[in-house]
Amino acid sequence: MNTPDTRPDARQRLILAGVEIFAENGFNATTTRMLADKAQVNLSAIPYYFRSKEGLYLAVIEHIADVLSAHLEPFLSKIQHLAETGLSPEAARGLLRDGLATMVAVMCGDPGTVPFSQIILREQMAPSAAFDLIYPRVMERILTAFVMLIGAITGETDERQCNLQALLFIGQVLVFRGGRATVNRRLGMTGYNTDEIAEIQEAIISRAMAALDFMAARKTWPGGVRP
């Protein structure tokens, strides 16, 4: 076996190569040779830094979680601060708008997160040990924040109903990411420029607010049934 590549950036080069190659090919179809060639390191660098292809894949997932968490942190910090001082329905609405707009901007408007989405979608379809790394750091935190905001806005105390609504909101964002080819074909978008991102944000946020108004109104119906 060759002496492993110990350049200072060799480990990071492998992680960035892994993001691209795992996104394009999936875990099973990716070979260590493909990863090493993309990173421009020798093959022995993978076991040296990560022990195995599986170890590199988990490091890629940790990298994705780090980047997405950094994007989410300002939004989540605001929620934590307001939750401690008192979260009014009006403040909760503003935060939910910000959260949805941030998700659209990150997942649809940032070219660097395109491979992230491909890897996450694969983990959704066929979860591996990596799902247990990314779920608590990204998906669970978003869902918990959205559930808190939905409850504050609507007065809904049934956590399951709030979770269902939060999942629907996230699903609306993901359809524009995972279904980009269909969106482009149907709406004549380019996938996506600044104006298109703004249009998607407005569409998702306006429908989210309407759904929350419906939830809040339903609380006043006898037996929860619309008169």
The pLDDT tens digits of the residues spanning 18-37 come to: 999 999 999 999 999 999 99
Please list, in sequence order, all residues whose beta carbon lies within 8 angstroms of the beta carbon of residue 136, skipping any fewer than 6 positions away.
Answer: none
Q: Residue 186 has what pLDDT? A: 97
**Domains contained in the chain, CATH given:** 1-51 (1.10.10.60), 64-219 (1.10.357.10)
Cα–Cα distances in angstroms (integers) from residue 14 to residues 65, 68, 116, 142, in the given order: 17, 19, 15, 29
Comparing 80 with 57, which gets the higher pLDDT?
A: 57
Tens-place pLDDT, residues 135-193: 999 999 999 999 999 999 999 999 999 999 999 999 999 999 989 999 999 999 998 99
pLDDT at 8: 74
DSSP, collapsed to helix, strand or coil, labels residue 16 as: helix
Q: Which tens digit of pLDDT belongs to each residue from 44-79? A: 999 999 999 999 999 999 999 999 999 888 888 888
How far is 23 from 121, CA to CA, in rounded Å?
10
Mean pLDDT of 101-126: 91
Q: What share of the chain is helix, strand, coil (3-state, %, to 5)?
A: 80, 0, 20
Q: How confident is the model at residue 218 (pLDDT cuts 50, 70, 90)?
A: confident
The two counts, helices (H) then strands (E), for the chain are 11, 0
Q: Among 194, 196, 172, which Cα is nearest to 184's?
A: 196
Give the model's pLDDT for residue 181: 94
pLDDT-derived band at 5 (thresholds 50, 70, 90) equals: low
> How high is the pLDDT of residue 226?
56
pLDDT at 76: 86
